[in-house]
Amino acid sequence: MTFIQRFLEIFPKSCLRKAIDYLSSGDYAKACHQFEIYVSKNDHFSGNDEKHELLRMYMSEAYIENAKLLRTSGKLQEAYELLEKAIKIEPEYSDVYYMAAELNEKLGRLEQSRNNIRRALSINPNYFSARILLAKLIYLLERESPKCIEELQKSLSCSPGFYVEKVNTLTRDIKNGLEKEEILRQFDDVLRERPSSAQVSKQIALEYIQRGDYDSAITELKKTLSLTPDFADLHNMLGIAYVNMGSKDDGILEFNTALKINPEYLKAHLNIALTYYEKGSFSESSRHLDKVLKFDPENELALNLKNELPTVLQ
Q: For 31-42, how does the pLDDT look when each residue is reduced to its tens digit (9 = 90+)? A: 899 888 887 877
- Would you give the distance in Å from CA 33 to the centre of its chain? 20
60 and 178 share one domain: yes
Residue 229 domain boundaries: 198-313
In a domain, 3, yes or no: no
203 and 179 share one domain: no
* CATH classification of the domain holding 117: 1.25.40.10
In a domain, 276, yes or no: yes
Average pLDDT in the chain: 84
The predicted structure's pLDDT at residue 102: 95
pTM (two decimals): 0.61
Which of 133, 163, 192 is a domain's end point? 192
Q: Which alpha helices (DSSP H) does 124-192 contain, by range?
A: 128-142, 146-155, 161-175, 180-192
48 and 182 share one domain: yes
Which of 175, 192, 209 is a domain's end point? 192
Question: With contact defined as beta carbons under 8 Å apart, do 239 and 255 qualify?
Answer: yes
Instruction: Dump pLDDT digits (tens) for 127-167.
Output: 888 999 999 999 999 876 789 999 999 998 877 666 888 99
100 and 216 share one domain: no
212 and 92 share one domain: no
Which of 141, 170, 192 is a domain's end point? 192
| Rounded-to-integer distance, Cα 224 and Cα 220, Å | 7
| Rounded-to-integer distance, Cα 314 and Cα 305, Å | 15
304 and 167 share one domain: no
73: DSSP letter: T
In a domain, 8, yes or no: no
| Residues of the chain scoring pLDDT < 70 | 1-15, 43-54, 144, 160-162, 193-200, 310-314
